[in-house]
Amino acid sequence: MRNHIVIFLCMLLGNCSLFAQQVRVDWVHGLNSDESFWLPYRTFFEETRQIDGFFSSNGDAGLVFPNNGLHVYRTNEGVASFADRVQLTINHGIPGLGIGHSMGALSVREVSRRDPGAFRGMILCGSPLKGAAIMNAIQDGRASAYIDNAAWQLTRGPRAQLGSAGALFYVVGGIVVNKIKDNMRDDLFGSYGERTIADLAENSTYMNQINAVPKEQQIPHVMLWGNENSPMHLRGWSSQERASDRLPWENGDDEKWVRQFNTMYDVYNATAIINLGGAVVAAIGLQFGISGYFTFVAHEWRKGAKYMRDESESQFAELIGANKDHLIRYITYRTDECTDEQRRKCTYEVFYPYSGTGLAPPPGIILWERYNQCLSSCNNRLVTREIRIPIQQGSDGTVAAYSALAQDTPWEVPATEQYQVEGCNHMEMRGHPNMTAQLENVFDRQNDPIFNVPR
């Protein structure tokens, strides 16, 4: 009711100059974060706007606790519990703006549902308003399976290269990977909390209830959503690592794992080429067993490289719900790869006649040409195949666009109330220049008594 009175008076007077003295803003951090997340914006906007910045974490010590001097909400007990703390610690008075990130935005929305007068408007940033698909993947084991597959794909080349020693490598690597997985599981279910995971999952009881609230019972809100560049999973992991260390945003915030994967990709491809060279030399020397071994090793290195470049992102996008549909296409093409059986057949036909017969084989280059000619029978045959092409919609590497925009729910807003933060992942929202620019755009909304904040 209070926010409606403010809106009415602003409209009646034709402007909000009466209320331009320090617009109250409640900044609410997200899951496993703290007030440092919003600190760059609070500092900047308090200097450039008429804002009375207030971190919603300065209340009862039983509700919040310090972490290295920074106030933190407990976020591991579900959305309702988080909202309880926000509701008790916000600066009650003339309704201001509630700005929340991720789960913090969910708690702001929950407070507004309980008390429509708590805020005059909400700015919901990178929030899984329809649920976070990654939580469903944690619950049903797909997240763990993704880690298993990544470990398998990335160690295929090294294991093949080591030959019999590869078994030892895999055992030792498996112990390490399992330890990492155990730590991640402790992290997810220990620090996130099972109640929080359950609430944030898509189609959870909580999500279904909150997303049934009719529009007429909602207060005004706008949505900011990140649309990260590819590879969004590596960029997201890079920023998450820095944010977990409480490091401020800086240029290159999202590049660490991109650089490391690019280096690994180059190494994997170079190693594959070296092994193919070994296969050619061995074949020319009629050492077909060794040639086959090197060919197999090169294949394994290339599979690891292909996973890094093509598959790891698409499979992760599936986990976070960013692959929401698939195009089915039937394509006819000339294959450029032969099966292992076809390669063995050509090896036998070209090289075997000279093995153990005493006949002098033609020069190696001639044999290689014959071998490639033999393979042309499979390299040039027409193949028709059904392919499913994932359609990857925008995401911030954690929350897909459809959830951040509450699509197909009463909370969905017109395009004019949606702000895309380009090139920004979930944790880069703590300081990315494009995020600052979009907050400026919200505060500069003309003839809008809710979100306009004077300079």
* 23, 29, 325 from 188: Cα distances, Å: 37, 18, 28
Shortest CA distance to 303 belongs to which of 146, 143, 152? 152
How much is the average pLDDT of 421-444? 96
CA angle, residues 313, 314, 316, in degrees to nearest 5: 65
Tell me which CATH code domain 2-134+201-254+395-443 carries.
3.40.50.1820
Closest CA to 200 of 371, 302, 76, 365: 76
Task: Give the pLDDT score at 432.
Answer: 96
The residue with greater pLDDT, 139 or 162, is 139
Structure tokens at 385: 């195949």
Of 193-197, 247-251, 302-306, 356-360, where does mean pLDDT reach its minimum? 356-360
Task: Check residues 380 and 3 and name the one with the higher pLDDT.
Answer: 380
Q: In this predicted structure, what is the pLDDT of residue 34?
A: 85
Q: Is 14 left (phi over 0), alpha (psi -120 to 50) or beta?
A: left
CA 114 and chain centroid, separation: 31
| Residue 69: band (very low, low, confident or very high) from pLDDT cuts 50, 70, 90 | very low
Which tens digits make up the pLDDT trace of 14-56?
444 444 568 888 899 999 888 889 989 988 998 899 887 655 4
CB atoms within 10 A of CB 273: 13
Confidence of residue 161 (pLDDT cuts 50, 70, 90): confident
pLDDT value, residue 170: 54
Question: What is the average pLDDT score of the chain?
Answer: 81
Query: Distance (Å, rounded) from C-alpha 424 to C-alpha 433?
Result: 9
CA dist 440 and 246 (Å) reads: 24
C-alpha dist (Å) from residue 173 to 70, 167, 238: 38, 10, 23
Entry pTM: 0.78
Q: Residues 257-315: pLDDT tens digits? A: 999 999 999 999 999 999 989 988 888 887 878 888 888 899 999 999 999 988 899 89
- CA dist 421 and 126 (Å) reads 10
Rounded Cα distance, 137 and 135, in Å: 5
Is the pLDDT assigned to residue 212 strictly greater than 90? yes
Per DSSP, the three-state class of 351 is: helix
More confident residue, 162 or 101: 101
How high is the pLDDT of residue 17?
40
Task: Give burial (CB, 10 Å; 0-12/13-18/19+) of 10.
Answer: buried
Name the amino acid, one letter, at 419.
Y
In this predicted structure, what is the pLDDT of residue 378? Answer: 72
pLDDT band at 423 (very low <50, low <70, confident <90, very high): very high
Which pair of tokens denotes residue 225?
């959503």
| Tens digit of each residue's pLDDT (9 = 90 or more) over 305-364 | 999 988 899 899 999 999 866 556 666 655 666 777 787 788 778 776 765 556 666 766
Of residues 23 and 127, more confidently modeled: 127
Q: What is the average pLDDT across 68-93?
A: 79
Between 73 and 216, the higher pLDDT residue: 216
More confident residue, 419 or 331: 419
Q: Could you give the 3-state DSSP secondary structure of residue 163?
A: coil
Asked if residue 445 lies in contact with residue 53, where contact means CB atoms within 8 angstroms, the answer is no
From 126, 109, 108, select the one nearest 404 (Cα to Cα).
126
Q: For residue 395, what is the DSSP state? A: B
**β-strand partners of 259:** none
Residues of the chain with pLDDT > 70, as a percent, come to 75
- Tell me what percent of the chain is helix, strand and coil, each rounded to the nearest 5: 55, 15, 30
Residue 216 has pLDDT above 80, yes or no: yes
Q: Are 75 and 30 within 8 A, CB to CB?
A: yes
What DSSP state is assigned to residue 94?
S
